[in-house]
Amino acid sequence: MFNVGDNVVYPMHGAGTIEGIEEKDILGEKQSYYIIKMPGEVKVMVPTSKAEGIGVRDIIDKETAGKVFKVLETTSTEMSMNWNKRYRDNMDKMKSGDAYEIADVVRNLSFKQKEKGLSTGEKKMLLNAKQILVSELTLAENSDKEKMEEIINDTINTSYTEYSKTITKEVPDNIVKKFISFNGVDEM
């Protein structure tokens, strides 16, 4: 049971604050609802009896927020080469509402975007995952949205720079490093 003023995470939507608990009559049925104020002046009504079952949870604490940043700082985890499977796997992670899983999606898709670019669907997923992560870390760290976005982006950029250095070092020496173009001119 949550109380007015509690900061909570609503999976696939992000973190918000419970502004009230109201009883509503919807389709002839009276039920209590949490009124959750989400970022961007959006308010969501969630039935109190179903909140935990659909994944509403308390926001992470400062210590856990630090561990979430550690996820952003690590190299990417392996993702399927099949776009459809990768999309489903990432969607499952986001639906879980778990801060670590969402950070994993943000990091992996950010790295992929830097390497090869993303499809329209994955760009939307990255944007959504990042918004969810920003909203929770903003409340957990008692920060503001813009500052948190900057910190997350800086963390990912630093991590990607380190990650790409390790990938470059892993290229075997016996790999062909000289290419011959079709017009017969050697290129490096």
* One domain, residues 51 and 99: no
Report yes or no on 188 lying in a domain.
Answer: no
* One domain, residues 108 and 140: yes
Which residue pairs, CB below 8 angstroms and at least 24 apart, start in 19-26? 19/43, 21/48
* One domain, residues 15 and 68: no
Note the pTM of the prediction, 2 decimals: 0.83
* One domain, residues 86 and 100: yes
* One domain, residues 95 and 52: no
CATH of the domain at 23: 2.40.10.170
Sort residue 153 into left (φ over 0), alpha (ψ -120 to 50) or beta: alpha
* One domain, residues 53 and 80: no
Number of domains composing the chain: 2
pLDDT value at 7 more than 70? yes
- Each residue's pLDDT tens digit, 121-148: 999 999 999 999 999 999 999 999 999 9
- Its domain, for residue 43, covers 7-58
* One domain, residues 71 and 48: no
Report yes or no on 49 lying in a domain.
Answer: yes
Cα dist from 41 to 10, 19, 22, 140, whole Å: 15, 12, 18, 19
Answer whether 141's CB lies under 8 Å from 99's CB.
Answer: no
Report yes or no on 161 lying in a domain.
Answer: yes
* One domain, residues 105 and 145: yes
Answer whether 11's CB lies under 8 Å from 101's CB.
Answer: no
CATH of the domain at 111: 1.20.58.1290
pLDDT value at 176 more than 70? no
Report yes or no on 122 lying in a domain.
Answer: yes
* One domain, residues 73 and 143: yes
Report yes or no on 124 lying in a domain.
Answer: yes
Burial state string for 57-96 with b = 16 or more CB within 10 A and e = fewer than 16 = bebbeeeebeebbebbeeebeebeeeeeebbeebbebbee
Say what the pLDDT of residue 125 is.
96
